Chain A
Amino acid sequence: MSLVLEGVSRTVGGEVHLEDINLTFERGEFNVLMGLTRAGKTTLMRVMAGLEPPSKGRVLEDNVDVTATPVQKRSLGMVYQQFINYPAMSCYDNIASPLRLAKLSKAEIDRRVRAEAERLGIDHLLDRMPLEMSGGQQQRCAMARALVRDAKLILLDEPLVNLDYKLREGLRAELRELFKDRDTVIVYATTEPEEALVLGGKTAVLHEGRLVQHGLTAETYRNPATVTVSQVFSDPPMNLIEADVRDGRMVVGGLLDEPLPAHMSDLAPGSYTLGVRPHHLFANSVGAHGIDLAGTVEVAEIAGSVTYIHLEVGGHDWVVLERGVHMVHPGERFNVHFDPARLYAFDHEERLVASPATERG
């Protein structure tokens, strides 16, 4: 089972929401739609579901053109970000609704509803009404309804964004288990890079209605095709700095003048955008890491297991990711240290021209 989008475009009231999207989603693995808010993720999902017609292009399910098929006739499950359930029905009836419409036997419905509720940990809430349940439980009920029917296509539109952070962490870890070895195409939209990386599979990066990159999730993360992907598919975004390459050296006025690292040696002279990941920056010259840049601290953000230190480096806002909890005060001097072998380089058209050799070959 595969879902193919051919030249899908969508303009609404003169505003372009999607522009010439060509994508193929395979069965049995996660297909993540990554992009900022308003990048067109929701519109693309609604077109795939048949809830909105594309202005141009076709949607094919196993080479059958389903572009105009009414959504009732499609084998589909969808989870919205605002935990949509039928308020006037109990959790049990909510989950059973698609099965009743498919006219399954009562016993079969009961078995499958309880099994799915068990898998999502809400089997003790089946006779509750949606409004009597917490946000997390309501979303689990909505997910159970989408999963119970073994549909060909399951769409999840940022399902965790409205949950408390700890609930989100818990449910995110369960997602892989929940969707493992199901004979269905799973498409998951999110703005959070970590969610894409947890779910694995393939990731398509959308920006302002256009497909920017599509590939294996880890691969796309490690080799962002453009500067945009390096910003969208990284939290905090990759640190950037404009530099000139001439006669074997890379120069940033007054800040940096170093020989090119091995993986960038064949770059033609000219202006480039160099990038380095926050977790490849280290504080205060720990060991021989090569390049040293002076910066001043703007603010330190502690996120429990890690600390994000926001710095001003040569007029750029950079972020250092430190493991553990480190209190630093705004205004402090902070020398940032990194190994040039970890540098990314983008040409003047913002396309990736050099990326650090992935550690594990």
Chain B
Amino acid sequence: MIPLYWYLLLSAAIFCIGLFGAITRKNSVGILLSIELMLNAANINLLAFWRYLYAPNGDLRAEVFVIAIFVVAAAEAAVGLAMIISAYRSRQTVVANDMDSLKG
């Protein structure tokens, strides 16, 4: 039988990998991928806690949260990719650090 903290370790690992990628990846699509990874880690956590602590007494909040995260991930992917594509159209680059027209 699998103890709960295995899942948590797994999600922690995925989260950290995603964090690293999100900060260091040059390509903005890569940043998007990393963020999706982090979201997945969060989902694993939620579902694990749900299964181990909440499901026995029929508490559904965690599942609702997971659904919300799915929606957020989809929305974020759609909008993010749209932005990346339009940015690519305008300035021919997808390297996040080159898109710094907001610098002071």
Q: Do A and B come from one complex?
A: no
